[in-house]
A and B are shown apart, each in its own frame.
Chain A
């Protein structure tokens, strides 16, 4: 399909009474892009998504779809497919009638409705269930009907509010990939909402990390994962080594940070000398080697004692005491040589995986 449109959210603000739920949000979604709003519960994701779908108007700001200002259009004039967290299927209609609902409203000829319904049902693998009622389907199947119903109208924009959160973990992971494949096949511009960082990483072209009504970072999954722009993002996407310190000297792309475990080099965005920062380091970016090896040419290195080791199958988790106050968490991939409790080890990491983030 070729009707991919770009979405532009411009300085959108929304308050409910005294609390500002969205504070000057600007996001540009490219045609055909899979964009995810990621953030903790209550950060305003649903409010923003509903606003794009026409359910609620911003206090200020504009929303443009394919260049057209839709800020004040009612939902039925927006041409947005919406998949709700609860699926919101019509319980009194068959699967077929659910999917055909939007097409009938568009007054399409019966033959075309029939063929389009058949097409989308086969896309989601539900041809055999066309004559069932939603109550007679499993949660995963209901979910697919909700998606089929939304894409049947060939919307210029597909909006999904935590569509997988009511499914069990296994199914969630499977539908994740199906969803991603379907979206690429249709080439439809998509905005997806989730509070699950792993899910966001798995499906998205780009991710908007939101916190308390503002944007913390917009970037590809790799950027969000590898270069968190703020302490909030680092924490939210599972960086769990945070070492407090003070910037000693800025050297272009990197800074030297004075920490309780010594002077450490880290990449940074806009830190200046004297600033208080947290040094963020992913457990899986740290390599453990037995102490006493020659120092590595580049990157960070700290010596310490193994305080805890837990075998988790795919990885082994260690806690290494590198100074009186600092313990580093390390995730060693399966197959790497084990380190005994109490043994002396070197923790090594590439400089670009350590980030000095404003505290």
Chain B
């Protein structure tokens, strides 16, 4: 068949007019498809929270016209205010130690993976990413058993939850730091050493300041992962601990979709606020 089309082309060639250059071929790929996909993306990111918002403030709700306000009232927020504040506080009491612990564990691990050669390095590199591919519920189930019996029995549920969150959050701290360290000239540390700095001092005064933006990216990601966690918290929690996702779940469980929506909206607002602040911080500290 290719032979046939070959002869056809060959016969036509002498008489074929010179084809006009096609202007479209100069344009980059995806030029026509990307506005549509972007619009779709925006809609599907923005619709769920809008739906929840409308659900939480309207006294009447139907799926078709629900996003338009009718009889707006903030009663539900007022009612569930204390519960919302409590869940925000609980989430923070878990997220903040999780971020700190992830940093303290993640920084040396990332440094070792990038700068040191040791037996088992390849294995460790795979291991730190494992929580990303593990279904969280499996991990949570395992952790629950560990803290219920065995050597960890009797550990405070707060501690258990922070440990669980740290394990699943570590890749989010380690990966940005690894990427940043790979971009830092190894000789920078050597230079500091030759100028008189001890190993730790050389790291703290030269490498760490350079990678701060990536550390903050890690902080934002770990924070987001921790405050949005459901499975791990659910399986390790006790009735007195109610993080934001747990509170939302409990509100829905209590039979009130609209109450659940109110709690969800309030906590969502808080989470987005914190992440935005961190994002701004990341941008600010790129000082050179």
Contact = CB atoms under 8 A, between A and B. Distances in A.
A53 B288 contact: no
Contacts of A91: 188, 210, 288
A92 interface: yes
A85 B190 CA distance: 12
Nearest to B196: A105
Interface residues of B, number: 21
Interface string A32-73: 000000000000000000000111000000000000000000
Contact of B195 (A55, A102, A133, A135): A102
Nearest to A100: B195
Nearest to A155: B194
A290 interface: no
Contacts of B198: 76
B206 interface: yes
Contacts of B192: 90, 101
Contacts, number: 69
Interface size class of A (residues with CB under 8 A): 20 to 34
B273 interface: no
Contacts of A54: 193-194
A86 interface: yes
A88 B188 CA distance: 5
Given A88-B188, A91-B288, A92-B287, A105 B195 contact: yes
A75 B194 contact: yes
A105 B194 contact: no
A30 B65 CA distance: 90
Interface of A: 53-55, 74-76, 78, 80-82, 84-86, 88-92, 101-102, 105-106, 133, 135, 146, 149-150, 153
Interface of B: 185, 187-188, 190-199, 201-202, 205-206, 209-210, 287-288
26 contacts: A53-B190, A55-B193, A74-B199, A75-B193, A81-B195, A84-B187, A85-B187, A86-B187, A88-B185, A88-B187, A88-B188, A88-B190, A88-B191, A89-B188, A90-B210, A91-B288, A92-B209, A92-B287, A101-B195, A102-B196, A105-B196, A105-B197, A133-B288, A149-B191, A149-B195, A153-B196
